[in-house]
Amino acid sequence: MMDTVLKASGLAGVTVRRRRSPKGEERREAILRAAMARFAHDGFQNASFAAIARDAGLTLPGLIHHYPTKVDLLVALLAWRDAETDQVQDIHIASWKQYLQGLVEVVRRNMRMVEVIRVFAVLNTESLTRNHPAEAWFVERTGSLRKRFASVIAHAVEAGEIRADVCGEAIAAELIALMDGLQVLWLRSPETVDMAGIFASHIERLIRDIEKD
């Protein structure tokens, strides 16, 4: 995934500095959090590199030392988000029902990461614009999720656990659309939209609807 983003961003072959000192890691995390807030508020295109440096408590040369360009910073932020969500999404599951129910836990966990979800939603929409540096990442992310969800459903159909007329590709598209759409509704009105509750109810109805009698 990261190779695709680097190629699309013109960063293939670039050697990324990796200092392992605790102080360096703390600075990089401070930068990523500052970038996350700026991207969420201003969007990637309008976010000021200098403002991100100031928010992180660094000079502009100090920021450039860690991330030479705004694209470098965006790639690092998306990779950081990937690592966070993979801790939940990549757990091994024993059945298709447990997999779908596990998605509810992903949504519930996302509700504790409002700034991450906000910047993700902003960048997801913004990446639809021409030549956006995050376009490749979101295209691959969506494609990967669709294949993963569809595969789980298809295997259950083959095993005779789900009705034969159920289309895994359609269920996958439905789940992704609901998860992304609920995020937008929740971000606009977190006090009135129970994102995890709504999604959990949908999963329960879906399981009842597609399970073979």
120, 134 Cβ separation under 8 angstroms:
no
Q: Give the C-alpha distances (Å, rounded to integers) separating 28 from 43, 51, 80, 84.
A: 20, 15, 11, 16
Is the entire prediction scored with pTM above 0.95?
no
Buried b (16+ CB within 10 A) or exposed e, 21-32: eeeeeebbeebb
Query: Three-state SS for 67?
Result: coil
Domains along the sequence of the chain with CATH: 2-210 (1.10.357.10)
pLDDT band at 153 (very low <50, low <70, confident <90, very high): very high
Report which of 57, 66, 54 is spatially closest to residue 17, judged by C-alpha positions: 66
pLDDT at residue 108, as a whole number? 92
pLDDT at residue 41, as a whole number? 85
| Cα–Cα dist 122/136, whole Å | 15
